């Protein structure tokens, strides 16, 4: 993977940053996209290396994506790996779920990956190499009360993954979705508060009474575990894996 160019959306969050650092530490050129410029500036100043750069980007704006991808290609002469990781969560039962919030979550977690893939494919086809990893979820495979938008987006993302994998199979491009269970991130920690409210539980009881009964390993995953999985799927060692929804969940979906 040395000298490959990697784009990670949602690259300043816990999972996105872990992925970005993994590739950077192994000699790749990494470009992170995030909605907030100040977060990108802080990270790039901390790392202080020309092979770790970033752009402020609204991933739901295709013009912004197109312009950024053009800049990345102009600078690095390739776009080899795209990780569609940007996401957000809102937990509420359907009757109380704001319709605009539902639409916005699908835009970020389903339409935005479609647009990013659409913009990346010409560069990958030109080079004859590409790896696309979409960050789905176990909630792309099974339901969870209160997560109508998140589940809908992630189920759709797995469907998109399969279609693009079929369309790109002749071009040495693989397309896969990773389906993590509960990962120890701020997004999940905030979600625990939402679950506490919807289920009328004390916050300190949510892991013990709601989450861990679903997870045989009785733990939250580390973001580094997700980063290692993404890295493996990007390597030639995984060139025969495409169109798959690959689960890493501590045994959640084995039950």
Alpha carbon distance 60, 106 (integer Å): 10
CB atoms within 10 A of CB 108: 21
Residues paired with 31 in a beta bridge: 7, 53
CA dihedral 117, 59, 83, 90 (to 10 degrees): -120
| β-sheet with 130-135: strand ranges across | 52-56, 29-34, 5-9, 81-84, 130-135, 173-180, 245-248
Active-site choice (150, 229, 231, 252)? 150
In the annotation, is 182 catalytic? no
Q: If we measure between CA atoms, which residue out of 208, 93, 192, 206 comes closest to residue 146?
A: 93
Nearest of 215, 210, 133, 154 to residue 182 by alpha carbon: 215
Dihedral class, residue 69 (left if φ above 0, else alpha if ψ from -120 to 50, else beta) = alpha
Q: Which residue has the tokens 């969050």?
A: 13
Q: Which residues pair with 92 in a beta bridge?
A: 147
DSSP 8-state assignment for residue 183 = B
Q: Residue 143: how many CA atoms within 13 Å on its side-chain side?
A: 4
List the catalytic residues. 150
């Amino acid at each position: 993977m040395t000298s490959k160019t990697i784009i990670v959306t949602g690259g300043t969050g816990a999972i996105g940053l872990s992925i970005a650092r993994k590739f950077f530490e192994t000699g790749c050129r990494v470009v992170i996209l995030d909605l907030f410029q100040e977060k990108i500036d802080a990270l790039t100043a901390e790392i202080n290396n020309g092979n770790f750069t970033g752009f402020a980007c609204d991933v739901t704006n295709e013009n912004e994506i197109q312009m950024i991808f053009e800049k990345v290609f102009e600078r690095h002469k390739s776009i080899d790996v795209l990780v569609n990781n940007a996401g957000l969560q809102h937990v509420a039962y359907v009757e109380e779920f704001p319709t605009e919030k539902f639409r916005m979550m699908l835009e970020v977690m389903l339409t935005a990956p479609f647009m990013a893939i659409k913009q990346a494919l010409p560069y990958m086809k030109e080079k004859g190499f590409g790896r696309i990893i979409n960050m789905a979820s176990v909630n792309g495979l099974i339901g969870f009360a209160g997560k109508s938008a998140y589940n809908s987006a992630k189920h759709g993302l797995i469907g998109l993954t399969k279609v693009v994998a079929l369309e790109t199979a002749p071009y040495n491009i693989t397309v896969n979705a990773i389906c993590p269970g509960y990962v120890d991130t701020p997004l999940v920690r905030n979600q625990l508060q939402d679950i506490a409210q919807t289920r009328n539980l004390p916050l300190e009881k949510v892991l013990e009474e709601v989450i861990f009964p679903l997870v045989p390993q009785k733990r939250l995953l580390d973001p580094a575990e997700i980063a290692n999985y993404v890295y493996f799927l990007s390597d030639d060692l995984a060139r025969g894996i495409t169109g798959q929804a690959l689960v890493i969940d501590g045994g959640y979906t084995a039950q």
